């Protein structure tokens, strides 16, 4: 049989094309199934690893509780450190370990309960829209005011040592405590000052930081003249002294009650909670906070002073050509601009090289944007493809005039910015990044933004 050259070429093309199409389809199915199996395996490994880490940390805190309890049991009199600053420091370590262990146990139980729901949560998270970025919270310059009559009394009669510490709690992983502050060393005017600065990293916008104030009172034992003379006498062991030493030791070693610190613990800390407050994102800007759970006879005034600062851990940037609609002598014109999104502003130039050499031709401040979210422009008003709309507001000036892109309303000048990308994918990328900047601004810095206009 004879075939023409065209028939031979077409037959060869069909034979080589069909099997390649089948291979592509099979590869896609295999890759997706492999990825899903790998993700499920990674999730199980991460959960097991997290559980192991929590158990190790719980055991470590239990060891600290046991060691500090043994050290405190040795403080039976002044010769063995009773009423000293070392004893107060051991009480502080015992309190921190106890609170950390309780928080870790709570986190462990939550993680165990969430294990069967992990797949559902992951499936729902893929559908969600742009979520706010995480940030850091810094607390500094903490001051604890004391009552004036209490300060006068301790200056006249030095009968006890008063120690205070402040604990900051934001989950099991973020838990810190200040060093000891006493009325003898840390009193500045009528308040106890804490010079430590705490920064909590990687916190979400709905963070809650619990501030808890703890107090320890060490009463001083005064030795009279007669007791001092008796102390100079012989320290030989008598039956009475032996009996008292045995009874005191048995009382110390006997477990009085079951403690929440754990099965092997000996005692709980003598620090007591005397005030608390919860710091939220809305607390930023305030410096005075009311304390809850303050006892009636407490030396505290009932509030705490501190500075709260927040910083967004977001660095959204984007660069590329956008075509902008502008008013030129009363006529609408589209001009191609090189745009750069950095921080809260979109700056634009004529050419990419101008970004490093020249000042921008203009900029759009996203803090002045009133859109609830950036969306494609309405085709009834703008027929150009791949265009999105930004509406900004600023105070009106004397030389402001109404144009095709700006209108004056009351004391404000409203500007409608139409920006057009080259492709649909580029438009969607710009809208996604702009929406990320807007949601971060409005959640972390609400006072710096205008109220959005439009449907919620």
CA–CA dist 144, 280 (Å, integer): 19
Residue 442 structure tokens? 């409005």
8 Å CB contact between 342 and 366: no
8 Å CB contact between 215 and 298: yes
8 Å CB contact between 427 and 388: yes
The stretches of 160-231 forming alpha helices (DSSP H) are: 225-231
CA–CA dist 171, 103 (Å, integer): 7
8 Å CB contact between 220 and 158: yes
CA–CA dist 282, 401 (Å, integer): 38
Q: Give pLDDT, residue 446.
A: 78
- Dmax over CA atoms of the chain, in Å, equals 134
Dihedral sign, Cα of residue 34, residue 36, residue 39, residue 43: negative
Residue 146 β-bridge partners: 300
Q: Give pLDDT, residue 257.
A: 39
Q: What does each C-alpha distance from 52 to 46, 55, 81 come to in angstroms?
A: 10, 5, 38
Contacts of residues 102-106 at CB distance under 8 Å and 24 or more positions apart, as own/partner, are 102/260, 103/169, 103/171, 103/172, 103/175, 104/54, 104/57, 104/58, 104/61, 104/172, 105/58, 106/172
Burial class (CB within 10 angstroms; exposed 0-12, middle 13-18, buried 19+) of 370? middle
8 Å CB contact between 177 and 166: yes
| DSSP secondary structure code for residue 377 in this structure | P
CA–CA dist 169, 273 (Å, integer): 14
Residue 308 β-bridge partners: 139
CA–CA dist 351, 404 (Å, integer): 25
Residue 242 structure tokens? 């032996």
Q: Give pLDDT, residue 451.
A: 63
The stretches of 74-178 forming alpha helices (DSSP H) are: 85-114, 118-125, 148-156
CA–CA dist 110, 102 (Å, integer): 13
CA–CA dist 97, 61 (Å, integer): 5
Residue 44 structure tokens? 């199980």
Q: Give pLDDT, residue 291.
A: 95
Burial state string for 119-157 with b = 16 or more CB within 10 A and e = fewer than 16:
eeeeeeeeeeebebbbbebebeebbbbbeeebbeebeee
pLDDT tens, N- to C-terminus, the chain (456 residues): 555 555 555 555 444 444 443 333 333 334 344 444 445 555 666 888 888 888 999 999 999 998 888 888 888 778 877 888 899 999 999 999 999 999 999 888 888 887 554 444 343 333 336 788 888 899 999 999 999 999 888 877 777 889 999 999 988 888 889 999 998 888 888 899 998 888 888 888 888 999 999 999 988 765 554 544 444 445 555 655 655 655 554 444 434 333 444 444 468 899 999 999 999 988 888 999 999 989 988 999 999 999 999 888 878 899 999 999 998 888 889 999 999 999 889 999 999 999 999 999 999 999 999 988 999 999 888 989 999 999 999 888 888 788 888 888 888 889 999 999 999 999 999 999 999 999 998 888 877 777 655 544
Backbone angles phi, psi at 9, to 5 degrees: -65, -45
8 Å CB contact between 443 and 132: yes
């Amino acid at each position: 049989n004879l075939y023409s050259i065209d028939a031979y070429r077409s037959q060869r093309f069909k034979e080589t094309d069909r099997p390649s199409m089948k291979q592509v389809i099979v590869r896609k199915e295999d890759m997706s199934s492999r990825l899903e199996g790998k993700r499920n395996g990674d999730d199980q490994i991460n959960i097991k690893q997290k559980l192991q880490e929590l158990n190790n940390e719980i055991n470590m805190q239990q060891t600290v509780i046991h060691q500090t309890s043994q050290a405190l049991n040795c403080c039976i009199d002044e010769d063995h450190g009773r009423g000293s600053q070392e004893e107060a420091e051991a009480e502080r370590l015992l309190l921190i370990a106890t609170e950390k262990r309780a928080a870790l146990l709570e986190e462990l139980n939550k993680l165990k309960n969430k294990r069967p729901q992990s797949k559902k949560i992951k499936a729902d998270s893929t559908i969600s829209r742009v979520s706010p970025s995480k940030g850091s919270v810094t607390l500094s310059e903490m001051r604890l005011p004391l009552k004036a009559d209490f300060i006068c009394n301790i200056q006249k009669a030095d009968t006890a040592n008063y120690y205070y510490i402040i604990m900051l709690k934001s989950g099991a992983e973020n838990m810190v405590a200040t060093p000891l502050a006493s009325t003898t060393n840390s009193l500045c005017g009528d308040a106890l000052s804490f010079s430590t600065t705490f920064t909590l990293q990687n916190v979400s916008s709905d963070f809650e930081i619990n501030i808890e104030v703890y107090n320890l009172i060490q009463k001083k034992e005064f030795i009279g003249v007669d007791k001092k003379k008796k102390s100079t006498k012989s320290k030989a062991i008598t039956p009475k002294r032996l009996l008292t030493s045995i009874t005191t030791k048995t009382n110390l070693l006997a477990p009085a009650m079951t403690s929440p610190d754990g099965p092997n613990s000996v005692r709980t800390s003598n620090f007591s909670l005397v005030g608390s407050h919860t710091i939220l994102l809305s607390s930023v800007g305030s410096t005075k906070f009311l304390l809850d759970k303050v006892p009636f006879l407490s030396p505290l005034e009932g509030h705490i002073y501190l500075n709260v600062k927040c910083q967004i851990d977001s660095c959204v940037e984007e660069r590329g050509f956008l075509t902008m609609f502008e008013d030129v002598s009363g006529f609408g014109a589209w001009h191609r601009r090189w745009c750069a999104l950095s921080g809260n502003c979109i700056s634009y130039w004529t050419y990419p090289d101008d970004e490093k050499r020249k000042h921008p031709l203009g900029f759009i401040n996203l803090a002045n944007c009133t859109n609830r979210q950036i969306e494609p422009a309405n085709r009834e008003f703008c027929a150009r493809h791949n265009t999105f709309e930004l509406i900004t507001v600023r105070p009106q000036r004397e030389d402001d005039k109404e144009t095709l892109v700006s209108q004056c309303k009351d004391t404000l000048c409203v500007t409608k910015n139409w920006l057009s990308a080259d492709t649909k994918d580029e438009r969607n990328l710009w809208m996604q990044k702009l929406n990320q900047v807007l949601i971060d601004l409005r959640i972390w810095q609400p006072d710096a933004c205008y109220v959005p206009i439009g449907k919620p």
